[in-house]
Structure 1
Amino acid sequence: MPAAKGGVTWHKKAEKWRAQVRHKGEVHHLGLHETREAAEAAVAEFRALHPGKRTRKLDSVRRNHVRCFDERTLLAERAPIVDVMESGVKKLIRLSTASGKQLRCSRDHAILTPDGWRKAGELAVGDAVMVGGTAARPSEALVPPSLRRGIGVWTAMQRNRLIDELDVCYLCSRTFPREALQLDHVVPVALDLGKALDEKNLQPACEDCHAAKSADEQALAKRGGKVALAKADLVTAIADDGEEMTYDLAVEGPWHNFLANGIVVHNSYNEESGRYRELQPVFYLPAEERKLVQQGRPGRYEFVEGTPEQYGTATGAMEAAYREAYARYQEMLAAGVAREVARAVLPVGLFSSMYATCNARSLMHFLSLRTKRENSAVPSFPQREIEMVAEQMEQHWAGLMPLTHAAFEKHGRVAP
């Protein structure tokens, strides 16, 4: 690829790696090197001897943790800080809540509410936001409540199929009509979650035996004490509060939020911005299995396999263009041109990173549009690159919400 971290670029004519560093407004040329590793070592050595104030990742902060919250259960967790990014000067507002909490943030900063994420600038006095708090610890099964409910729904759906009209309670060996029997997990879900959706682990049990067994399983629950969680608090005041430099804090997933002055906010580092940070040279090259040739008339075309020659032409042209574009980008930065101007030469093949949140219904809408499946009720013809992203998102979602994903598949991949 055209460059590596730290001002390392490919010198086409010399066919060597060029190392250079911009320090205190001046460009320091560190020579040409036979290998990229040698050029990177030269850059690292220079920066070690000449530390600068501009840092993208703050080591002193990255070792710290912040309080975050599971957005399904609202229970508190701890998450390590991944990065702190400068986001530019913005106008700020101050939010005050009924419990006395205050937060200064930009209008576009996302804040967690009982109805999901909302921009701070969209909130009004009287709206509710989620804040950190505590509550008495309830009987806490070893399975999250949302998952436990889903398992219960799935189990009930199997009842008519797995219980005969007259069947035997596996605990007391007496015979009962179907309506007097329940399906029971022989191995409790709290002991082995892997058997929760295993039909072989389901057996008919009469109401008395089922109730007695369920009561015994309560010994698996935790009781007493307090639990830290997020709860609703009303906004009592919103006021403009000046203008100053802002920063984005990124925390490690799966829950990209943290507690700021007692209020639950998004980690806010959404999409990597070329206005405020130097973009890194990570570019897209299609894999060999990517279909390259378009056939048919507009609206009814299809893609077919390309030849090895076409693949070589495409990847060669892309790589050459990437190298040249990134070299020109670096040249402008070295000359003091603003990042937001210099980025104009970078192609769409540059990878970008972002965090996004959505609910299951929104994700289903996205997947129905950005994946192509034979069982889809509504045909879709996405570009392969966005489809690859969608496929990975769907794989993670199916693991988190297997019952909802199964219903999505069953009903033609259409959101409810």
Structure 2
Amino acid sequence: MRHQGEYHYLGLHEAREDAERVVADFRAEHPTTRRRRLESVRRNHVRCYDERTLLAQRAQIIDVMESGVKQLLRLTTASGKVLRCSRDHAVLTPDGWRKAGELQAGDAVMAAGTSPRPSEALVPPSLRQGIGVWTSMQRNRLIKELDTCYLCSRTFPRAELELDHVIPVALDLLLALDEGNLSPACRPCHTAKSADEQGLAKRGGKVAVAKPDMLVSVQDDGEEMTYDLSVAGPWHNFLADGIVVHNSYNEESGRYRELQPVFYVPAAERKLVQQGRPGKYEFVEGTPEQHRTVTTAMEDSYQRSYQAYREMLAAGVAREVARAVLPVGLFSSMYATCNARSLMHFLSLRTKDERAKVPSFPQREIEMVAELMEQRWAELMPLTHAAFDEHGRVAP
């Protein structure tokens, strides 16, 4: 880590989680002023929006990165909001995320607005009771014997789960009898969410929401130094000049920021030896001596290459030049989005499973990433994941 012009070696670690924890501890002990590059980050929070309900929330700023000089666009809306951003920055629209460079006058973007606060008077007690009865009738059909709470992602037996309206009835009565708006929630989460919704409904006034705002012009606006803002989830977006934009930091770039010494060293269970002819080979277990050779060689190489990288930076060499000495074993981090079908296609190619109709032979490292992605996906979309397995792990 670099702090106040000096480099501090934090060691090598077997797992990325261990390395990130050490880095986090170091940053806590040595506070940085790096976030103070933008006036808007001084309170360390920004407004973001729940992408399901479009209700405003608060998100903590994680980091601010210098992203280099880029060509800018000026987006002006019918309500007078003006956003200056790079062409590749994602902007929220009524149809989902789109790059700013793809937008033109007449398109709509999601911007800050207000809406009448939900009121219990909008839903008569008799109708509310009827909706509750209908929802209870769907319980055994829509909740599996063992299912996942969509709010806390923990697994519970059916007896401990309730069907919850993801978008509250008071916000959109048209979704009250929509099965797609029902998800299982454990009783503590369901109770807490219902209490929050009732608290909102009993007050009058308005709530902050994201609303469509038509673009009246999209113009080139010169070149300037740009900065990427990274915010905490679950909704990686924030309000910029009244318009909802995406958490702009996707993949860590060694061109614009100093890369951290987090490297990959294969664990003992990683098969090391390749046998067979090209196109029809297999990997088998390595010997303890081979694992020691791999570990020693990699750690030695990583230390020397990263030391050379730091020496070049200290000498004033540009990051985009100095990074050339870093090995492929350096970890990178990124944010990415995809739909369920795209994820299924990725998993069918990058995981090996006996249930798959089409065999796949992925490299172990990408398979490890795919396994973690699939685990998370199965928690978020258990029914879709089960259908994926049932139909041969092939994307529809």
In the superposition, the TM-score normalised over structure 2's length comes to: 0.72
| Equivalent residues in 2 for 1:9-408, closer than 5 Å | 56-58=34-36, 61=41, 63-138=43-118, 155-156=140-141, 198=158, 222=198, 223=201, 225=204, 226-408=206-388
Kindly indicate whether residue 24 of structure 2 is the aligned counterpart of residue 8 of structure 1. Answer: no
Unmatched 5+ stretches in structure 1? 11-36, 49-53, 142-148, 163-188, 203-210, 212-216
Provide, for residues 163-185 of structure 1, a one-character-per-residue CA deviation record: whole Å limited to 9, x for no partner: xxxxxxxxxxxxxxxxxxxxxxx
Once the two structures are TM-superposed, the CA of residue 156 in structure 1 deviates from its matched residue by 4.1
> Are residues 403 and 278 of structure 1, via their aligned partners in 2, closer, same or farther at CA, if it must alter by over 3 Å?
same
Provide, for residues 80-133 of structure 1, a one-character-per-residue CA deviation record: whole Å limited to 9, x for no partner: 011111111111110011222210001111111222221111111122222222
Contact 2:153 2:379 in 1 (8 A): no
> Are residues 358 and 88 of structure 1, via their aligned partners in 2, closer, same or farther at CA, if it must alter by over 3 Å?
same
CA distance in 2: counterparts of 1:55 and 1:275, whole angstroms: 21
Question: Which of structure 1's runs of 4+ aligned residues deviate more than 6 A?
Answer: 149-154, 192-197, 199-202
Provide, for residues 345-404 of structure 1, a one-character-per-residue CA deviation record: whole Å limited to 9, x for no partner: 100001111111222222222222222111122222221111111221222222222222
Contact 1:9 1:327 in 2 (8 A): no
CA distance in 1: counterparts of 2:161 and 2:44, whole angstroms: 44
Percent identical residues: 69
CA distance in 2: counterparts of 1:331 and 1:312, whole angstroms: 29
Contact 1:62 1:81 in 2 (8 A): no
SS in 2 for 1:319: helix
Contact 1:150 1:403 in 2 (8 A): no
SS in 2 for 1:312: helix
Q: State the one-letter code of the partner of 1:128.
A: A
Provide, for residues 18-57 of structure 1, a one-character-per-residue CA deviation record: whole Å limited to 9, x for no partner: xxxxxxxxxxxxxxxxxxx9xx99xx99x99xxxxx9544
Provide, for residues 296-350 of structure 1, a one-character-per-residue CA deviation record: whole Å limited to 9, x for no partner: 2222222111110111111111111111111111121122211101110100001
Q: Which residue, 367, 392, 395 being the options, matches 1:412?
A: 392
CA distance in 2: counterparts of 1:259 and 1:248, whole angstroms: 13
CA distance in 1: counterparts of 2:106 and 2:369, whole angstroms: 39
Provide, for residues 215-274 of structure 1, a one-character-per-residue CA deviation record: whole Å limited to 9, x for no partner: xx9x98633644432232222100111211110111011211101111111111111111
RMSD (Å) for aligned C-alpha atoms: 4.0
SS in 2 for 1:273: coil
Contact 1:133 1:231 in 2 (8 A): yes
> Are residues 356 and 193 of structure 1, via their aligned partners in 2, closer, same or farther at CA, if it must alter by over 3 Å?
closer
Provide, for residues 61-92 of structure 1, a one-character-per-residue CA deviation record: whole Å limited to 9, x for no partner: 47521111222332222110111111111111
> Are residues 235 and 150 of structure 1, via their aligned partners in 2, closer, same or farther at CA, if it must alter by over 3 Å?
farther
SS in 2 for 1:379: coil
Contact 2:48 2:238 in 1 (8 A): yes
> Are residues 112 and 200 of structure 1, via their aligned partners in 2, closer, same or farther at CA, if it must alter by over 3 Å?
closer
- The answer for the alignment partner of 2:188 in structure 1 is none
> Are residues 354 and 233 of structure 1, via their aligned partners in 2, closer, same or farther at CA, if it must alter by over 3 Å?
same
Q: State the one-letter code of the partner of 1:112.
A: L
In the superposition, the TM-score normalised over structure 1's length comes to: 0.69
Contact 1:111 1:119 in 2 (8 A): yes
Q: State the one-letter code of the partner of 1:266.
A: H
Q: State the one-letter code of the partner of 1:7.
A: Y
Q: State the one-letter code of the partner of 2:316.
A: G
Contact 2:56 2:210 in 1 (8 A): yes
CA distance in 2: counterparts of 1:150 and 1:403, whole angstroms: 19
Aligned residues: 329
Once the two structures are TM-superposed, the CA of residue 9 in structure 1 deviates from its matched residue by 5.2
Q: State the one-letter code of the partner of 2:91.
A: I
CA distance in 1: counterparts of 2:260 and 2:154, whole angstroms: 42
CA distance in 2: counterparts of 1:193 and 1:271, whole angstroms: 26
Q: State the one-letter code of the partner of 1:278.
A: E
CA distance in 2: counterparts of 1:382 and 1:232, whole angstroms: 43
SS in 2 for 1:323: helix
